[in-house]
Amino acid sequence: MFLGLEEMKYFKLRYTLVIGVIVLVAYVAFMLSGLANGLAQGVRQGVDQWDATSIILSEDANKSLNASSLVMDDLNQVEADKKEPLGQYAGALNKVGQNKDVDKINISLFGVTENSSIKPKLVEGRYFKNSGEIIIPQNLVDKGIMLGDNVKIGKLDKELKVVGITKQNSFSIVPLIYTSLNQWQELKFGKIIEGTKAPINGIVVRSTKTNDIKLQDTDDHLAKYEINAFIEKLPGYSEQNLTLNAMIYFLFVITAAIIGIFIYVMTLQKTSLFGVMKAQGISNGYIIKSIIAQTFILGVIGVLIGVVLTLLTNIVLPSAMPFELDSMNLLVYSIVLIIVAVLGGVFSIRTVTHVDPMKAIGG
């Protein structure tokens, strides 16, 4: 340890460059991690907010909420602690009085019953109780839609009034609006259908145990999915995570290679020094420990600076950017980066053990 620290103090520029490389790689890895997590939350946030156990969809929907087609009567075929009918709509919203073509905002909309247990908590205003009322998330407020505003969604001629605001919420990356099932039907089908045959897309189930959920399905048209399995099937969710995580893993490999090359080259430059040390009776083990300690210190310093830069960047990023840091991910990736930095230093061990003291000092 002492030997490694003294050398780093003496060759400041050389080791500053190594730390700089680690900082850049760590910074990119942490930023990609935040972006991956932010995009994932943008896709699934509305589903997570349900705090649900399972979801019931039509059997032929392939776990797609939008493709599922059920009716209110299907609620009677589901046995669970809590079961909530749900309708889903995707479209565009624009504020009344603004340019229709320029100011449209893509949104997702969930239709639920007035007393539904899966409605998000409000931070301002009230829940919908009359026709033509909606509640919007904070991320729509950030785009200029305010409490009391009238908006139009899709091809519906009727104006909808914003009566409540929830904290930031999204589904499939776009802001998530809630309204009544009747209003959802009018949006999606152009009319309100009352009674047991009223259409819905799914049934959200909340139960203490998944096994407690039973389907009394005589014609096998219902399918029960655990909520995590449903999330994995959300459009683009798995593919997006796989792509960004693969980039992060490649960065780990690149880090090991870069550190390995740096330390190896510097080890070759110190061959004569190692020869003198061996001639003085200093063991291979002591030299190897110094190299490993040195790379560990380089890794820790580089990763810590990378973490600080990432946290500072997070402060200045616009709220519209899907970026969310996860403390556990930061910790895990920091540890992995330090480990791969040390592994990079391990590549030089063979060179040290093969140094001949006589040849190294010109004997």
pLDDT value at position 209?
65
Per-residue 3-state assignment (H helix, E strand, C coil) for the chain: CHHHHHHHHHCHHHHHHHHHHHHHHHHHHHHHHHHHHHHHHHHHHHHHCCCCCEEEEEHHHCCCCCCCCEEHHHHHHEECCEEEEEEEEEEEEEECCCCCCCCCEEEEEEEECCCCCCCCCEEEECCCCCCCEEEEEHHHHCCCCCCCCEEEECCCCCCEEEEEEECCCEECCEEEEEEEHHHHHHHHHCCCCCCCCCEECEEEEECCCHHHCEECCCCCCEEEEEHHHHHHCCCCHHHHHHHHHHHHHHHHHHHHHHHHHHHHHHHHHCHHHHHHHHHCCCCHHHHHHHHHHHHHHHHHHHHHHHHHHHHHHHHHCCCCCCCCCCHHHHHHHHHHHHHHHHHHHHCCHHHHHCCCHHHHCCC
- Calculate mean pLDDT across residues 129-148: 91
Question: Which residue, 241, 341, 320, is CA-closest to 23?
Answer: 341
Strands 82-95 and 202-206: antiparallel
- Whether 192 shows a pLDDT value over 90: the answer reads no
Q: State what percent of residues in the chain have pLDDT above 70.
A: 89
Mean pLDDT, rounded, of the chain: 85
Which pLDDT tens digit goes with each residue over 261-271?
877 777 777 77
Distant-in-sequence, close-in-space partners of 248: CB < 8 Å, separation ≥ 6: 29, 32, 33, 36, 333
Does 123 have pLDDT greater than 90? yes
Average pLDDT of span 92-112: 81
More confident residue, 230 or 277: 230
Whether residue 103 contacts residue 145, with contact meaning beta carbons closer than 8 Å, is answered with no
The residue to which tokens 């200045």 are assigned:
316
pLDDT per residue as tens digits for the range 282-324: 777 777 888 788 888 888 999 999 999 999 999 998 877 888 8
pLDDT of residue 219: 66
Give the pLDDT of residue 93: 92
| Model pLDDT, residue 213 | 72
pLDDT tier at 98, thresholds 50, 70, 90: low
What is the predicted pLDDT for the residue at 4? 53
Statement: residue 363 has pLDDT above 80: no
pLDDT exceeds 90 at position 183:
yes
